Amino acid sequence: MFQKTRYQLLLSYLVVFASLLGIFALAVRVVFIRSLSQRLTENLMISGQNAVADAELKNGRPQLENDFPIQELITYHQALQWYDLQHRLVGQQGKYVLTLPFPSNQTMQFQKIGKVRLQGITLPVIDNDNGRLIGYVRVSQSLKEFDETLAELDWGLGIGVLITLMLSSVGGVWLTRKAMQPIERSFQRLKQFTGDASHELRTPLMAITANVEVALEYPEGMRSTDAKKFQAIASAADQMICLTEDLLLLARSDQIKISKRKIVNLAKILDQLAHLYQPQADAKEINLTAKLSKPLYVLGDSVQLTRVFVNLIENALQYTKATGTVEIQTNLVAQQVYVSVKDTGIGIAPEHLQQVFERFWRADEARSYRSRGFGLGLAIAQSLVQNHGGTLTVTSQLEVGSCFTVCLPVYYSGSYSREVD
């Protein structure tokens, strides 16, 4: 019963942990990229400053000293481009040179040539003798190693996050089980108490009912007002008996597993129920129809399945006004049979749809409709459907109606057609 809750708790834990890991990995990546980019930029500027340190003007063009270590340009995947005062290219050295125009108002430039990204910076060239501006130098470098390092970082962070999530999921399963154990034990004790209390209440309630029936069979020795009181006692006792029976069934439903499943003709059960409730529908002027396309056989317990559809049909008839309609319909999709009980009743508000299967819950509209139920019918139906490996869902709209759909694994389907009006 708590399996879904454990899964939801584990999923929430993993989502939160994955989000934290993702934020951490993103922060590490941003800091690493910023630090590495700053270091590359500083190295590029240092290379440019070293290149122009001993530069001089010859024949109107800036010239590099002969002893400048050109090999370093190749080693560090860099290149130099010389420009005169008119921003004309007068020479270049190295492999990774930018083909972009001379920058007008920015010193840092980026360009992608093929699959290689390049970064360049433009620096002024000052004559050491007179301090005059004699030209410009643009130093560029390949970012291939930077991109490869970044890719390795991404792979490392990604694999690390995945491994951490896998290990944390194992720990999360253990933690969720530990966290749910006190709740499950409390629920089991509560369910045991409910079952025991319901079982113990049956005897005194049956005694009250029997004595009231005897008293009502011999009204000669009582006043007329006493007879009304005994009738009220009998009615209250009947309601209490129904409540205890429902509570006992709910307390046992999670523990009772269908040990020996039998082939059940679902269409036959629905057909019989449609005929059974036809007089009640006629009395309320409700149009009750059952559209059963073919015999649908499932493996399960016929008594439990009958109880499921009795609850759904009674609810539909109870909350549907006169001249309304209640429709029972079956559909076979792949290996699943869908049985829907649709009505044109008072409907359920959207915010209450998640609560309709809770025990003792009834919407305010149902209470104002003078319902005599205790809010256990749908909880019982859902529990019995789950015992058969199926699901029970609901769609509804206020003042339009509701549709409860039971989905069960089908065992066999044949040719059968009948409509009950």
- Are the C-beta atoms of 44 and 121 separated by less than 8 Å? yes
- Are the C-beta atoms of 81 and 137 separated by less than 8 Å? yes
Torsion of CA 169, 171, 175, 177, to 10 degrees: 70
Tokens of 307: 């109880």
Looking at the chain, the domain(s) classified CATH 3.30.450 span: 3-151
CATH 3.30.1460 fits 3-151, yes or no: no
At residue 131 the predicted structure's pLDDT band, cuts being 50, 70 and 90, is: confident
Region 211-240: what's the mean pLDDT?
Answer: 73
Question: Mind giving me the DSSP string for 340-389?
Answer: EEEE-SS---GGGGGGTTSTT---HHHHHTT----S-HHHHHHHHHHHTT
Q: What is the pLDDT of residue 367?
A: 43
Region 389-412: what's the mean pLDDT?
Answer: 89
Looking at the chain, the domain(s) classified CATH 3.30.565.10 span: 262-420
Lookup result for tokens 């409709």:
369
At residue 414 the predicted structure's pLDDT band, cuts being 50, 70 and 90, is: low
Share of the chain above pLDDT 90, in %: 18
At residue 402 the predicted structure's pLDDT band, cuts being 50, 70 and 90, is: very high
Query: What whole-number distance in Å separates Cα of residue 320 and Cα of residue 376?
Result: 19
Tens-digit pLDDT profile for residues 295-351: 788 988 888 898 899 889 988 998 898 889 999 999 888 888 999 999 998 888 888
Tens-digit pLDDT profile for residues 249-282: 666 665 555 556 788 888 889 999 999 999 999 9
Superfamily of structural domain 262-420? Histidine kinase-like ATPase, C-terminal domain (3.30.565.10)
Mean pLDDT, the chain, as a whole number? 79
